[in-house]
Amino acid sequence: MVLAPLPDPGPPSLAVAPEPCPQPLRSPSLDNPTPFPNLGPSENPLKRLLVPGEEWEFEVTAFYRGRQVFQQTISCPEGLRLVGSEVGDRTLPGWPVTLPDPGMSLTDRGVMSYVRHVLSCLGGGLALWRAGQWLWAQRLGHCHTYWAVSEELLPNSGHGPDGEVPKDKEGGVFDLGPFIVDLITFTEGSGRSPRYALWFCVGESWPQDQPWTKRLVMVKVVPTCLRALVEMARVGGASSLENTVDLHISNSHPLSLTSDQYKAYLQDLVEGMDFQGPGET
């Protein structure tokens, strides 16, 4: 069932955003990677992932009742906002990503009505942005939204969500630190590939006891830089040959790294991270 609208006083702490940023330029071609021979730890190119204001690229995919209806790649310093209408509050931070009307892809009138109700309750949207090594989320409308970090192909619907996106304050939804630790373990041949896809269930409870395809609106957000790091680990293996990775962040160039260089940069990156949770001291 779609949750009923709640009173919406609006988040008092959100700052006014500058003019919306334009659609991102795509990253340079992998045909001409930039080599980084003999870089020392102080020149670790992976540290750009943590630079304030560095634009991460997000691939956003929306599903209505399990059917993919939308996919777009977004890059903006203020992050993004999932909204249900093109007529939104442009003073809110984040690039607005408008989810499509269900009439364009669904035929069941009842389901269309329910999906439209969910989209209308998004209000100011579902905001997602990066600060430091964390990804943060906050809902700016009525819709309760649950999230989990799962595989790219499908959400972890057999278990409960990792949390609910808070309304009146930001909430941490992804910590880069444990991801890099798991990635190092993965490059060493033990452990599973770390998960990095954020799944959001909008307007309904998490599909813990049902197929996720029964939910009206599910949205997957993939930070493409994390996908690239995992792919580099898979391709590199124990090979001493150089492999190419494109971080898909602003002003980045594809990097040519050996497996040993890659592991050294990951280790150097993780040594400077904070492993306390958000808000802990």
Characterize 148-161 residue by residue with b for buried, 16 or more Cβ atoms within 10 angstroms of its Cβ, and e for exposed: bbbeeebbbbeeeb
Angstrom distance (rounded) from CA 123 to CA 117? 11
Structure tokens at 198: 């954020």
3-class SS of residue 233:
helix
Q: Are 93 and 78 in contact (CB under 8 A)?
A: yes
Report yes or no: 59 and 73 within 8 Å, Cβ to Cβ. Answer: yes
Phi, psi angle pair for 244, to nearest 5°: -110, 135
228: left (phi over 0), alpha (psi -120 to 50) or beta: alpha
* Integer angstrom CA distances of residue 64 from 19, 204, 259: 31, 12, 40
Q: Measured between alpha carbons, how far apart are the two ends of the chain, in Å?
A: 39
- Please give the pLDDT value at position 100: 96
| 47 residue type, one letter | K
Strand-pair category, 95-98 with 80-83: parallel
Looking up tokens 């609910």 gives 164
Per-residue pLDDT 10s for the chain (281 aa) are 444 433 333 333 444 344 445 443 333 333 444 343 344 445 899 999 998 888 999 999 999 999 999 999 999 888 999 999 876 677 888 999 999 999 999 999 999 999 999 999 999 999 999 999 999 999 999 999 999 999 999 887 678 899 999 998 999 999 999 999 999 999 988 878 999 999 999 999 999 888 999 999 999 999 999 999 999 998 875 455 677 888 888 777 788 888 889 999 999 999 988 876 665 54
- Rounded to 5°, angle at Cα 198 from 165 and 109: 80
Burial (CB < 10 A; 0-12, 13-18, 19+), residue 104, is exposed
Question: What does the domain layout of the chain look like in residue ranges?
Answer: 47-271
Q: How many C-beta atoms surround the C-beta of residue 259 within 10 A?
A: 19
Options 2.60.200.10, 3.40.50.1370, 3.40.50.2300, 2.60.40.420; CATH of 47-271: 2.60.200.10
Residues 101-140: pLDDT tens digits? 999 999 999 999 999 999 999 999 999 999 999 999 999 9
pTM (2 d.p.): 0.83
Q: Give the helix/strand (H/E) hosting 116.
A: helix 109-120
- Distance CA(247)–CA(269), nearest Å, equals 14
